[in-house]
Amino acid sequence: MSAAEQFDLLADLLRADPDLDVDRRDSSLVVGERAFAHLDGTALVVLLPESRAVDLIDRDIAKPAAGDAPDGAHWVSIDDTSDWNELANEAHTFARGRLPGRES
């Protein structure tokens, strides 16, 4: 299965979430107005908390990825498709928690 097909499958799974809060805009997955994952060539790029991103990079599971990220967050790139589902779900949960009005 190609990376694009794998991403399409992942997007379908996340959009089937019972909360129905995931949308696909072009090549990005978003929750509310916040992007949390996109395909970059053959790698999945996700937005994660800084500590989790550093951990994944230190263990050679992910590489730093370019992109504007809010304070306390980093974009990382994951090549191994077997990690995509878990890390996209983490990114989704992280993005949901960072939405305005969710802190109270």
Q: Where are the alpha helices (DSSP H) in the chain?
A: 3-15, 50-58, 84-97
Q: How far apart are CA 59 and CA 90, in angstroms?
A: 17
Q: Residue 23: what are its φ and ψ, rounded to 5°?
A: -130, 155
Q: What is the DSSP letter of 39?
A: E
Q: Does residue 3 contact residue 82 with C-beta atoms inside 8 Å?
A: no
- For 20, the token pair is 């129905």
Q: Does residue 29 contact residue 36 with C-beta atoms inside 8 Å?
A: yes
Tens place of pLDDT per residue across the chain (104 aa):
899 999 999 999 888 877 768 989 888 999 988 899 999 999 999 999 999 999 999 999 999 998 888 888 999 999 999 999 999 999 999 988 864 444 43
